[in-house]
Amino acid sequence: MRIDIISVVPDLLTSPFAHSIMKRAREKGLLEVNVHNLRDYTPYRQAQVDDYQFGGGAGMVMMPEPLAILLDKLKSERNYDDVIYMTPDGTMFEQKVANRLSMKENLIIICGHYKGIDDRIRQMYVTMEISIGDYVLSGGELAAAVVVDAIGRLIPGVLNDETSALFDSFQDGLLAPPVYTRPADFRGVKVPDILLCGDPKKIDEWRHEQSLQRTRERRPGLLED
């Protein structure tokens, strides 16, 4: 999968993909992330990319021309499955959405700043708008990093058996069960006996029961869906 990210603060998008599973995905050639600095594509002087909003009001708006120039260039080079705009008024990002996006070949992600982007870019180019939650971030970059991480780890071959996504919270609509490692007795608190019994079937049943119980207690809404 190839993901092109458009940003006015590209430095925010280096570290999130330089470590751990994202790093391995890129090294294996399964994920290619290209971050583009929007200022490199503006036709305006002094690398201007934003301007006052028509109608007045506080806050700048990202101008359409620099975005259109870069979007046209990318779209002339390959076909994109979606042009995603990160915005707090977008569709809520959930595991279902991540699963679906992980099957795509080429994606563009636009990170907004200030008051957001000129609405004509949304009308003319954007095919999908994503929010990562009901709170406001100062820009779309951290949200884009969340989305790319959630998608990237689902690309076939990125995770191995040990990191398998199959048992993640949400993947089966339930929260994950509790996990333990050594020591079996930590300051007097013991690992549940069943995990030491050696019977995989019994352990699976216990884990499923724990998943159900956690979901009932913490996120009962998930059981209704």
Interacting residues toward ligand 6GU by CB under 6 A:
86-88, 130-133, 135-137, 139-140, 143
CB 63 within 8 A of CB 107: no
Nearer to ligand 6GU, 110 or 159 (CB): 110
**First vs last Cα of the chain: how many Å apart?**
30
Nearer to ligand 6GU, 53 or 206 (CB): 53
Q: On the CB side of 83, how many CA atoms lie within 13 Å of its CA?
A: 18
- For residue 144 the two structure tokens come to 């884009």
Shortest CB 132 distance to ligand 6GU, Å: 4
Nearer to ligand 6GU, 90 or 212 (CB): 90
Nearer to ligand 6GU, 136 or 166 (CB): 136
Shortest CB 89 distance to ligand 6GU, Å: 9
- For residue 40 the two structure tokens come to 């490199």
At residue 213, what are phi and psi to the nearest 5 degrees?
-65, -45
Shortest CB 129 distance to ligand 6GU, Å: 8
Shortest CB 116 distance to ligand 6GU, Å: 8
Question: Where are the alpha helices (H) located in the chain, listed in sequence order?
Answer: 20-27, 64-77, 95-101, 119-124, 141-152, 200-218, 220-224
